[in-house]
Structure 1
Amino acid sequence: ATSRPLYLILDDNFYYQSMRYEVYQLARKYSLSFCQIFLECPLECCLQRNRQRSHPLPDQTISLMARKIEMPDLKKNAWEQNSLILKSFDCTSEDNEQIISLLTTALENPVKQNEENTEQKEADRATCAASAVHQADQTCRRIISQTMKDAKDKNVCPSEMKSLAEELNKLKAEFLEDLRQGNNLKKQNQYFDPATSIISSFQHEATNVVNKYI
């Protein structure tokens, strides 16, 4: 009997291209198929849906995600060719047909390990550089989490905890934008890791912020 194909569905925001590229690299390593479906949704619709959840996130979080998210770039990134962008607020039967077609195409064309050219390598290097933002983002999140825990242990009142969280998240967004734009590179020499610099500076500024509340 013919075995049925196995699909692994990764359901997440994957808001940076570098996050999705890590999955593509795994597919290439094991010669597996790869494709992605991007659900495009207006910010107002996202906010409305979020408010209907049993445990909604702050509007600021949704708005920040909307600013950070990087759509698939089929023209620039060869590895994103098997991508489908759908309007998540207006799904149709035609969308289902497009999804099936995308999956079929991906299955028939698994990623090959040696399927790289000079142009693609340049694009890959750019994507890897973007992963520095991804890594810095994760580290800053851990710093914020620990900072909030420390503030709670020092009996900061709930209303101030909320203000502290908002201030720290705003600070994180500013630092990551600096890293993304390369603003901090002007201050560093060629041997210094810009992501490390951003994280160190963020840690220092986060400490200054929390000191106002304790």
Structure 2
Amino acid sequence: MKETVESILATPNSSQKNVMIVDDNNYYRSMRYEYHQLAAKFNTGYLQIYMDTRLELPCESWENSLTIDSADLNNPSMMSKIWVRIQEAISNPVSTIKRLEEKKLVAEQSKLCNNHNVVHNIDKALRKQISQYIREHKEKNSARVLAAQLNDIRQSVMEDAKRGIIVPPADILKADESIDMPKLETWVTTIFLQRCSSQHGHDLVILE
């Protein structure tokens, strides 16, 4: 059966779209997965219609399963429902879905990497400090001028962090390699205040 299906899929027909119904036992998920892989290989859609309790219950997202019980068989709208699902499968080939899932996974991994990136979190902590100082001093000073001065300090700290001129304490990394943000923010606050103090006498408007 599988060889026959693969042979048909390997013969492209650009003039029309066809629906291939595989009427086989496929009791186990692993058996059904072989056809899912064929759908991915030949960039076509995949849909399961689950009707028998003897089959291994579909539970994986890739199975794209439509469950039908005996009562549904007497429902005149069931064929329309099945056809809608078939059209959705045709419009969303397995390979396309896989690429989207892979992109999502890469994005999630990239986000996780950024969250664990010390320099990235230093920048977040600095921006938090800047927002706090502007809120505390905006009534006495121009918020725009103040933000520009503080941003210069932020950039100088970031540049030194990237070049390794300043190095955060080693204990900001937890055993699971995640970042202890309270410790990092405490360290960043100290560095930030030191840089602010060094600007005293150079028209840093937040210092009184």
Q: Tell me the TM-score range normalised by the shorter chain.
A: 0.3 to 0.5
Which structure's relative contact order is higher, taking Cα pairs within 8 Å and 6+ residues apart? Answer: 1
Which of the two has higher C-alpha Rg?
A: 2
User: What's the TM-score, normalizing by structure 2?
Assistant: 0.38
User: What's the TM-score, normalizing by structure 1?
Assistant: 0.37
